Amino acid sequence: MNAIGIDLGTTSICAVAIDIDTGAVLKSKTVSSNAFISTPNPWERVQDVSAIINIATSLAEEFIDENTCVIGVTGQMHGIVYVDKNGKAVSNLYTWQDARGNLPYGETTYAKHLDSFAGYGNVTDFYNKINGLRPESAVSYCTVHDYLVMTLCGLTSPVIHTTDAASFGCFDIEKNTFNYDLDVKVTGGFDIAGEYRGIPVGVAIGDNQASVFSSVSSDDDILLNVGTGSQVSVISATPVTGENIEARPFFDGKYLLCGAALCGGRAYSVLKDFYSAVLSAAGVENADVYAVMDKMLENVTESLNVDTRFEGTRKNPALSGSISGIRTDNFTPAQLTLGFLEGMVEELYSMYLQTEQKNGFIVGSGNGVRKNPQLVAAAERKFGSKMKIPVHLEEAAYGAAMYGLVACGKFTCDEVRKLIKY
């Protein structure tokens, strides 16, 4: 038998089918969603919901066969889609990258007024409410992956898992209730939302928790995920918080302590673009710049000091990065490149220290880890541990499938984690 997992990412949509006996990935496919919509306001980051749902539904159809026992769904957290009384979308998707929450509100900002962050769903809704941008027919809102589940199962109202509910902000993770005027059903368990073509469909879960669930086989592991953004995540029995650490609901009554670097893996692509511009000015086009950067790193042992917080932090979005320690004998592309990698790791490590956890192995996930062995080496030096990397590539989709397997009763939470291979 197989389980299907679908992940609605920010720029792509992925589906996997996994063998429930071995954990092997039987089939995997990733499709570019290309769903962003141009708007006149630079702070807006919105996407076409119908385009996302159409792609995801097509993938579900392609992957389902007579051996499919469950469908799990996950996706980009924080963002919201407004729905009407019939369960139909009546707005675009306001994504996690939307910055309207940072706009001035009185003597502060919309986000700070709610003691939350720009891009978080309830902050986005608060801005829309104050500025008359709520759709008239909207009765509620949910994540885009919640909406996919509603579409597949024919639901008229969303059921939001605590892993997503907390991502909206203004949520008490210990009481599992909103401190905001949002009336939706919230669940923290392993639940089935309905059926699609007779196949059980799990309640949608947050992609951060899904990725952790499919990556760490032990509660003592530390997960480093590096993609466009990056996160450090550890599992805890208590909801510890810090300056840049957020306690999020996890599974089985546990919490996920997560620190998110807003620039993360994008910092390395910013450096690549810098080198590309230099090469282009010299008349060199279409060079494999990442390969050149890898070559530069082969023999370098010292680096420049690079603070890669180029997009600020959630608490201080105005913060900027820096490059320091420059001397005439060390201002080289190789030392600058290594400095970027170490800066990315340092930001994650500083957030890990705030979790107050004493954990074991580091586990790596995301393309930034899989495609950059020098980043892995930098993380191993900093954390003092060898890195384990899961065999499966699409962690969030795989984690959604695992959640579905527990929700439909095929495995317990501990049993399903034994499917993970490194």
Asked whether 188 and 161 are in contact (CB, 8 A), the reply is yes
Dump pLDDT digits (tens) for 109-161. Answer: 999 999 999 999 999 999 999 999 999 999 999 999 999 999 999 999 999 99
Dump pLDDT digits (tens) for 254-309. Answer: 999 999 898 888 999 999 999 999 999 999 999 999 999 999 999 999 999 999 99
Residues 6+ apart with CB under 8 A from 408: 69, 70, 192, 200, 202
Mean pLDDT of 42-52: 97
SS (H, E, C) 163-203: HHHHHHCCEECCCCEECCCCCCEEECCCCEEEEECCEEEEC
Sign of CA dihedral 58, 61, 62, 64: positive
pLDDT of 346 over the 90 cut: yes
Q: Which ranges constitute the DSSP H helices of 84-159? A: 110-113, 121-130, 144-153
Predicted confidence at residue 349, as pLDDT, reads: 95
- Residue 227 — very low, low, confident or very high, per pLDDT cuts 50/70/90? confident
Task: Name the nearest CA neighbour of 224 among 322, 110, 369, 124.
Answer: 369
160: which strand partners?
A: 186
Structure tokens that stand for 281 in this block: 């000015």
- Residue 317 — very low, low, confident or very high, per pLDDT cuts 50/70/90? confident
Predicted confidence at residue 75, as pLDDT, reads: 98
* Alpha carbons 112 and 130: distance in angstroms, whole number: 15
pTM of the full structure? 0.86
Asked whether 216 and 364 are in contact (CB, 8 A), the reply is no
Mean pLDDT of 81-102: 97
Q: What domains lie within the chain, and their CATH numbers?
A: 2-211+392-419 (3.30.420.40), 218-389 (3.30.420.40)
- Residue 318 — very low, low, confident or very high, per pLDDT cuts 50/70/90? confident
Q: Which residue has the tokens 């191993």?
A: 380
